[in-house]
């Protein structure tokens, strides 16, 4: 028994009885017309389904386009962080902060004498 007939719950004998009843009720001339109409209906349904799928596909292709990559910045125009700050990056979420200036050295400095102001 085919899976389609098993789903309908029809055995071979029951199927023959249904076909005989259809033949008696509608006659041999009307059955081909019904089959032709059924075939055309299925064909129209598949065509409409295909058109809807194509329309959805076109709509998704039209609405989504990835953004273009940003142009690379020239090396000379790259912003530099002022001294004493930590540069921020978009990925890290770090906010730039101003670090306090280093205290002036007192006493035994390792700074050369030429750069130490006269006291």
Query: Of 34-38, 83-87, 96-100, which one has max mean pLDDT?
Result: 34-38
- What is the predicted pLDDT for the residue at 114? 55
Q: What is the pLDDT of residues 34-81, one digit of tens each?
A: 899 999 999 999 999 999 999 988 888 776 667 778 888 766 655 565
Three-state SS annotation for the chain: CCHHHHHHCCCHHHHHHHHHHHHHHHHHHHHHHHHHHHHHHHHHHHHHHHHHHHHHHHHHHHHCCCCCCCCCCCHHHCCCCCCCECCCCCCCCCCCCECCCCCCCCCCCCCCHHHCCCC
Choice between 38 and 116, residue whose per-residue pLDDT is larger: 38
**Whether the predicted model's global pTM rises above the 0.75 cut:** no
Mean predicted confidence (pLDDT) in 93-107: 68
């Amino acid at each position: 028994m085919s899976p389609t007939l098993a789903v309908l719950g029809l055995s071979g004998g029951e199927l023959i009885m249904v076909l005989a009843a259809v033949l008696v009720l509608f006659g041999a001339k009307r059955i081909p017309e019904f089959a032709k109409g059924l075939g055309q209906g299925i064909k129209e349904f598949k065509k409409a389904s295909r058109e809807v799928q194509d329309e959805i596909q076109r709509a998704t292709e039209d609405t989504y386009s990835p953004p273009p990559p940003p142009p690379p910045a020239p090396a000379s125009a790259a912003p530099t962080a002022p001294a004493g700050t930590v540069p921020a990056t978009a990925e890290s979420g770090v906010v730039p902060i101003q670090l306090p200036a280093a205290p002036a050295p007192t006493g035994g400095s390792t700074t050369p004498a030429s750069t130490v102001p006269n006291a």
